[in-house]
Structure 1
Amino acid sequence: MDIRQLRTFVTVARFASMTKAAEALHITQPAVSGQLRSLEEELEVRLLSRTTSSVTLTQSGQELLGKAEKAIEAFGEFVHAARSFRGQIEGRLRIGVVMLDPGALRIGPLLREMVTQHPGLKIDLQVGRTSWLHDALRSAEIDGAILVCKSCPPGTQMMVLDEMTFRLVVPASWGNRFDGTSLKQLETLPWIRMAQRSGHQEMMDEILQAAAIKPIETVEADHELLMRTLVAAGVGVGLIREEMALQARAAGELVFFGDHKATTQLAFAYPEGRGGDPAIRATLSTLEKIWRLGSR
């Protein structure tokens, strides 16, 4: 048995799909099947029930899943701790990034500091949808993620980096259609749908619940430049980070709808139990410096 087999088991269990697990692990589906078969044969325990259309955990698989996750975490901590005795942090660090402007996320300063201070660390950046980032954290496909959220994704801890304000905006071409700022006026108009499990969805839900409306939702977007483009094109009502919304308004692309706004947090999330990992500690320390958290 090796750690790759356990990681494959955990990934398949989380995605409930051989195909998605193979994509997440960057290996072939036959390789996934082979690793699972070898693991089950060695343990003499059936972990998964497979059909042509689904993969589900057996009772034994359900009971062993948590232990497998802890074993993967412990293995990672062991490897990084051992490398730290050589005087520098080495290995691979995979960071997921939400689809906001990299400048607003301070990705450049973060990576500049990391590669300067820790030249032995290989860093992979993976930009993705919020729902994918949540799943990738759970399946150990990434080691941490910069997210927009008000609370920790399940199974994670997080460092809050900053507070962000978002504004409710409408296409500039709609500007003269309203005689007030009541959201009831927008209920029958198209809205751009927020991505599931995202900080954007949390904020939009707050706005809609406060107004007691359920609008028509059309296109789903999880990328702020795409959101800006869709609103400017007249696709529907959107929720955009205030700094970008101000730029778009100055360019004549959109207008604010009254003073409707919402706030959330920008945070770095990482799996529970990984706080002692040297690479995670280095990332947290660098983020604290870049965002000047100690001086607030």
Structure 2
Amino acid sequence: MELRQLRQFVTVAETRSLRRAAERLHMAQPPLSVAMRKLEEDMGVALFERSARGVQLTSAGEGALAAARKCLAAAAEVGAAARAVAGGETGELRIGFTGSTTFGLLPRVVRAFHQRWPQVRLHLHELTNQQSLTQVQAGQMDLAFVRVPTSHLPGLHFEVMERDRFCVALPPGHALAAKAQLTLRDLAGQDSIGYTPSPVGGLHAASSRLLQQAEVAVQLVQEAVQVSTVLGLVLSGLGLALVPSTNAHYYATSVVYRPLRGLPRDSGIGIALVHRPDSGNPATAHFAASAAQLAAGGVEA
């Protein structure tokens, strides 16, 4: 039994006439009559009572009509679902992110995307920069938010979503908190919380390069992967830390934040969205476009 036969059967049942059904189906009447006879043979029951005035459904035909309509509707849903996935209107996206994006950038982008594409399900995974880049490159993640500057692995596209600068996070009562602004020179010899080194760069590479350029040596007492962990260690009094300034609005309020003046122009940091341009997931392009529009100020969060 084919969908074509079911469509023919439903049309005959609705028109109560083989002639009118054939006209609606744009086919000759004899082949349609043969097709209905063949359908009855396949089902083993009579679907129609035929007379000179046309055709009437038998009780078996009435039951078959309801089932045929459901079957055709389900087939249409299958096609619509396939087209929606192919067009990126539904489906799933796997997205990696660094922990510090959860308070600002990530919620805004996710909210804006969900408003535009509510049928796409998002699976969010907190990862390090290295994990995000390698998993996007391998196709295990569709997109990821990563800290920049970082290594640009082959086959990946980077779109900067947020630009930022380092500031200094200080424990409450720290001597440097008395100053409204600081310079990198002020940090010389201070106990400091750093970032765990990564092969793909990130905050460790950016902060280390900044201190090296200024020829400033700090006393490294502890390292951590995430900004939130670094700030927790600062709050505990272990030392100060260089942190992205945007995080000052979302993390521990007891931590004292001070801006850095005199930073080199090339010392900027930020967040980038990375994905593969050849992604086989059509929703990837929709998410990237939605994020880029939001970053450009074109979407209300």
TM-score by length of 2: 0.58
CA contact (8 A) 1:168 1:260 kept: no
Aligned to 2:113: 114
Deviation at 1:126, TM superposition (A): 0.5
Could you list the per-position Cα deviations for residues 28-53 of structure 1 after superposition, in whole angstroms to 9, with x for gaps in the alignment?
xxxxxxxxxxxxxxxxxxxxxxxxxx
Query: Among the aligned pairs, what percent are the same residue?
Result: 18
Mapped pair 1:279 → 2:278: no
Could you list the per-position Cα deviations for residues 49-71 of structure 1 after superposition, in whole angstroms to 9, with x for gaps in the alignment?
xxxxxxxxxxxxxxxxxxxxxxx
Distance 1:252 1:260, change over 3 A: farther
Question: Quick one: distance in 2 between partners of 1:285 and 1:247?
Answer: 26
Aligned to 1:76: none
Aligned to 2:50: none
Question: Quick one: distance in 2 between partners of 1:241 and 1:176?
Answer: 18
Deviation at 1:240, TM superposition (A): 1.6
Aligned to 1:240: 243
Structure index of larger Rg: 2
CA contact (8 A) 2:164 2:246 kept: no
Root-mean-square deviation over aligned CA pairs: 3.4
Distance 1:214 1:137, change over 3 A: farther
CA contact (8 A) 2:88 2:281 kept: no
- Alignment map for 1:12-161 (pairs within 5 Å): 83=83, 89-105=89-105, 107-151=106-150, 153-155=152-154, 156-161=156-161
SS of residue paired to 1:163:
strand
Mapped pair 1:192 → 2:193: yes
CA contact (8 A) 1:101 1:224 kept: no
CA contact (8 A) 1:152 1:269 kept: no
CA contact (8 A) 2:87 2:283 kept: no
SS of residue paired to 2:153:
coil
Question: Quick one: distance in 1 between partners of 2:219 and 2:262?
Answer: 18
Distance 1:182 1:278, change over 3 A: closer
Deviation at 1:233, TM superposition (A): 1.7
State the one-letter code of the partner of 2:113: M
SS of residue paired to 2:261:
strand
Q: Give the number of aligned pairs.
A: 211
Deviation at 1:89, TM superposition (A): 3.0
CA contact (8 A) 1:83 1:90 kept: no
State the one-letter code of the partner of 1:270: H
SS of residue paired to 1:172:
coil
Question: Quick one: distance in 1 between partners of 2:85 and 2:131?
Answer: 34
Aligned to 2:261: 259
TM-score by length of 1: 0.59
Mapped pair 1:268 → 2:270: no
Query: Structure 2: any 5+ residue segments left out of the alignment?
Result: 1-81
